[in-house]
A and B are shown apart, each in its own frame.
Chain A
C-alpha cells in the first residue's frame, strides 16, 4: 500500500514536472506595428480645421453701400448665407479664411426663412456636411464667422428655446444660442459636436442676450427646392 502511494505520488510529480523550454523566439518585436489613427475629418493641408475652411466672408457691394456677412459651403460651388446679407446687392464678393477671393456668379433668392444661395464658379476650399436633424435644447454648438467683417472667429454656445414674439414671423421657427453675436455673423454656420451644420445664424435678440439661428431642417427644405438663381445686377 505504501509503495502504491509512493508510486502514485511520483507519477503525479512526474506529470507536474517542468518541461524544457520551447524554441527560442527569433524576434521579440510584434509584427503589427502601431499605425496613426487620426480622424480624416481633422486632417487639413494647412492646419486649419474644417469649420474654418468651409466658412467664407461675404461682401455685398451695393449702390454706394458695402455690407459684410458670413457664409459657408454646402458643396464645391454652392454657398449658404442669410438673405438680408445679400439684399440689394450689385455684386457679391467672397473671400476665404486664407484671403483668397472668389467671384460669385449668381445669387439665388428664396422664400424659405432668411436664407440665400450663392453660386460660385471656382471650387471652394471646403464645404460642410448638413446634420440629419435639428439640434436639441441644451446642445453645445460652435459658431464660426466674421464678426464686424473682421477676422475669422470661433464662438461656442448652447442651444436654448426662443420667445416666439422675439422672432420675425416671416423667418419661421428658429432656435436660440446663448451668445450675443456682432453684425457680420449673419449667415454663419452653427455646428454640432460632430462638425455638422445644424443651423444658420440670422440675427440677435433685442431684449435678451441671445442670437437666433435657422434650423437645418429649413435649410434642407431650401436646398430641396429647384434653384432659382438670378444673375447679379451691374447697375443701381
Chain B
C-alpha cells in the first residue's frame, strides 16, 4: 500500500489553537514511533495529534477521491481551520503523538505585525489618556475661574437688586408726588381761569358802569341845562307878565319882539326837557 501524501497545509489553520486532548480510546504510546510527514513551513512545528481511529471504519474523504488507505477527517472541533487527523493503514495501529511544546512567552505566540499593532495601540491610548488628563485639568482650572466669577456676579447682582429696589421705591414716591402736584396744578389752573374770567367779567362790568356813568353824567348835564333853560323861561315869563300889566309904558314892537324871544326860549327849554325825559325813559 502506498501512503498518500499529506494534505496541503491549511492557511487558515489556527496556529494558536491548543492541541486537543487525547481521546480515551487511543492513549498515546510514546514507545512506538511512526514517521510523520514533513511539517509544512506554515504549519505548526509539531503535528497535531488526532484521535485514534483504531477499530473504526474509515470515513471517506469528501474532498477528494477515496484511496481506501488514508482519509482525512475534518476536525469536528475546528471546522474553520480544516485541521485533519491523519490515518494511514500502515501505522493505524501504532500512531504516536508527539507532545506539543507550549510557547514560553505569550508575546512569542503573537506575530510580529500584531505586536507592532499592539504597541501602536498602547502608545496611542497612553497619549490620548495624557491629553484627556491635561484637558481635564484645564477644565478644572476654567471651572474654578468661572465659579469665582459666578460668585462675584451673584454678589454684584444682589447689590444691584437692592439699588434697583431703592430706585423703584423712589420712583413710586416721586410719581405719587407728581400725581399730587399734577392735581394741585390742575386745581390752580382752574382757579387761574376762574379768576381770569372773574377779572374779565369785572372789566366788562366796570366798562358798562363807566358807560352808564357817562350816560348819567350826560343826562345830568342835560337835566341841568334843561332846568336852567326852564328857569330862564319862567323868569322871562314873569318879566313878560309884568310888562304886559302896563303895556302902554312899553313900545309895542319891542314888547312883541320880547314876547317872541321869551316864547322861543321856553320852546327850546321844553324841547330840551322832552329830550331829557326821553333819555331817562330809555
Tell me if B200 and A3 are in contact (CB < 8 A): no
Q: Does B189 contact A (CB under 8 A)?
A: yes
C-alpha gap A151/B127 in the complex (Å): 96
Instruction: Choose the segment among B15-23, B61-69, B95-103, B201-209 that binds chain A (4+ C-beta atoms closer than 8 Å).
Output: B201-209
Tell me if A66 and B193 are in contact (CB < 8 A): no
**Among B135, B145, B203, which residue has its beta carbon within 8 angstroms of that of A17?**
B135
Closest to B214 in A: A64
- Binary contact track B51-93/A, C-beta < 8 Å → 1, others 0: 0000000000000000000000000000000000000000000
Please name all residues of chain A whose beta carbon is closer than 8 Å to the beta carbon of B152 when the two chains form the complex. 24
Given known contacts A47-B189, A151-B194, A10 and B128 CB-to-CB distance under 8 angstroms: yes
**Among A7, A18, A21, A95, which residue has its beta carbon within 8 angstroms of that of B199?**
A95
Please name all residues of chain B whose beta carbon is closer than 8 Å to the beta carbon of A152 when the two chains form the complex. 193, 196-197
**Among B192, B193, B207, which residue has its beta carbon within 8 angstroms of that of A61?**
B207
Please name all residues of chain B whose beta carbon is closer than 8 Å to the beta carbon of A68 when the two chains form the complex. 200, 204
Tell me if A21 and B149 are in contact (CB < 8 A): yes
Q: Does A36 contact B (CB under 8 A)?
A: no
Q: Does A6 contact B (CB under 8 A)?
A: yes
Q: Does B250 contact A (CB under 8 A)?
A: no
Question: How many chain A residues have a CB neighbour from B under 8 Å?
Answer: 35
Closest to B149 in A: A21
Shortest A125–chain B CB gap in Å is 12
Q: Does B195 contact A (CB under 8 A)?
A: yes
Please name all residues of chain B whose beta carbon is closer than 8 Å to the beta carbon of A6 when the two chains form the complex. 124, 128
Shortest A81–chain B CB gap in Å is 15
Q: Is the interface of A mostly helix, strand, loop or mixed?
A: loop
Tell me if B149 and A24 are in contact (CB < 8 A): yes
Tell me if A47 and B196 are in contact (CB < 8 A): no
Please name all residues of chain A whose beta carbon is closer than 8 Å to the beta carbon of B185 when the two chains form the complex. 47
Shortest A195–chain B CB gap in Å is 18
Please name all residues of chain A whose beta carbon is closer than 8 Å to the beta carbon of B121 when the two chains form the complex. 3
Tell me if A28 and B160 are in contact (CB < 8 A): yes
- Binary contact track B136-154/A, C-beta < 8 Å → 1, others 0: 0011011001100100100
Tell me if A64 and B215 are in contact (CB < 8 A): yes
Please name all residues of chain B whose beta carbon is closer than 8 Å to the beta carbon of A2 when the two chains form the complex. 124
C-alpha gap A95/B128 in the complex (Å): 96
Given known contacts A28-B156, A61-B207, A17 and B139 CB-to-CB distance under 8 angstroms: yes
Instruction: Choose the segment among A97-105, A210-218, A223-231 that binds chain B (4+ C-beta atoms closer than 8 Å).
Output: A97-105
Tell me if B204 and A20 are in contact (CB < 8 A): no
**Among A10, A20, A97, A151, which residue has its beta carbon within 8 angstroms of that of B142?**
A20
Closest to B181 in A: A47
C-alpha gap A19/B145 in the complex (Å): 10
Q: Does B132 contact A (CB under 8 A)?
A: yes
**Among B128, B160, B192, B207, which residue has its beta carbon within 8 angstroms of that of A59?**
B207
Please name all residues of chain B whose beta carbon is closer than 8 Å to the beta carbon of A95 when the two chains form the complex. 196, 199-200, 203
Closest to A57 in B: B200
Q: Does B211 contact A (CB under 8 A)?
A: yes
Tell me if A10 and B203 are in contact (CB < 8 A): no
C-alpha gap A8/B188 in the complex (Å): 80
Please name all residues of chain B whose beta carbon is closer than 8 Å to the beta carbon of A101 when the two chains form the complex. 199, 203
C-alpha gap A98/B196 in the complex (Å): 5
Q: Does B131 contact A (CB under 8 A)?
A: yes
In the complex, which of the residues A61, A95, A146, A151 has the most CB atoms of chain B within 10 Å of its own CB atom? A151
Q: Does A38 contact B (CB under 8 A)?
A: no
Shortest B197–chain A CB gap in Å is 4
Please name all residues of chain A whose beta carbon is closer than 8 Å to the beta carbon of B160 when the two chains form the complex. 28
Please name all residues of chain A whose beta carbon is closer than 8 Å to the beta carbon of B3 when the two chains form the complex. none
Please name all residues of chain B whose beta carbon is closer than 8 Å to the beta carbon of A99 when the two chains form the complex. 192, 195-196, 199-200
C-alpha gap A14/B131 in the complex (Å): 10
Tell me if A149 and B204 are in contact (CB < 8 A): yes
**Among A20, A66, A96, which residue has its beta carbon within 8 angstroms of that of B196?**
A96
Tell me if A66 and B207 are in contact (CB < 8 A): yes
Shortest A60–chain B CB gap in Å is 10
Q: Does B244 contact A (CB under 8 A)?
A: no
Q: List 26 A-B contacts (CB under 8 A).
A: A2-B124, A3-B128, A17-B138, A17-B139, A18-B139, A18-B146, A20-B145, A21-B145, A47-B188, A47-B189, A57-B200, A59-B203, A59-B207, A61-B207, A64-B215, A66-B211, A95-B196, A95-B203, A98-B196, A101-B199, A146-B200, A149-B200, A149-B201, A151-B196, A151-B197, A152-B193
With A66-B204, A99-B195 already in contact, 16 other A-B pairs whose C-beta atoms are closer than 8 Å = A17-B138, A17-B139, A17-B142, A18-B146, A20-B146, A21-B145, A21-B146, A46-B192, A47-B186, A57-B200, A59-B200, A61-B207, A66-B211, A93-B203, A93-B207, A97-B196
